[in-house]
Amino acid sequence: MAESALDRRYAIQDNGSYFRAGHLPNGNQVLMGIQLPNVTLVEFDHAGSFVGVYCRPIATVGEPSSFSPAELADSGAVTIAVWQDQIGFVSATIHLRPFYIDSAWIGIRDLPEHYRDVIENPEDYDDERRETLMQDIGVWRERGDFVLEWCEEYYMDRAGEVTSS
């Protein structure tokens, strides 16, 4: 029997740079990362269903707008590390059900934006381009790839590893 879209679980490996994935001592799963001017943590229950989203400001001395992107990334990494210690975070591959937080542009999509566009607006493409993209979509789906949106699109493979961004 085919798996329904709502039953599918998406593996996300702890990336260590773009975002962090892991477990809490209570078995809940978390996805966290920088989302300027905050660090954002998205929590899921043990079955991968969305629980909530939490934010902490990036710890800086002075106004965040006065820092370079590299300085903010460094301060964000420190904020993440401190928060992880406080909550007992353990790095791990997590398995999530579909979710999307419109206000934060965080979530899972089955297809990248350019593939969704050709499906939603086929008349915008000439026959040859539309056919090529539809073939690409077939290959994408066959592989089990998906998109994690975290301020940008991260193309993920079935195992939960980032393949492109």
Residue spans of the domains in the chain: they are 10-164
Tokens found for residue 14? 């702890």
* pLDDT score for 76: 78
Angle ∠(14,16,17) on CA atoms, nearest 5: 130
What pTM did the predictor assign?
A: 0.86
Backbone angles phi, psi at 52, to 5 degrees: -175, 170
Tokens found for residue 48? 């991968």
* pLDDT score for 77: 84
Angle ∠(125,130,133) on CA atoms, nearest 5: 125
Backbone angles phi, psi at 80, to 5 degrees: -60, -50
Tokens found for residue 28? 């809940």
For the chain of 165 residues, list the mean pLDDT of each consecutive stretch of 10. Answer: 68 89 97 90 97 88 61 78 95 96 93 95 95 97 96 94 92
* pLDDT score for 55: 95
* pLDDT score for 1: 45
Backbone angles phi, psi at 82, to 5 degrees: -65, -45
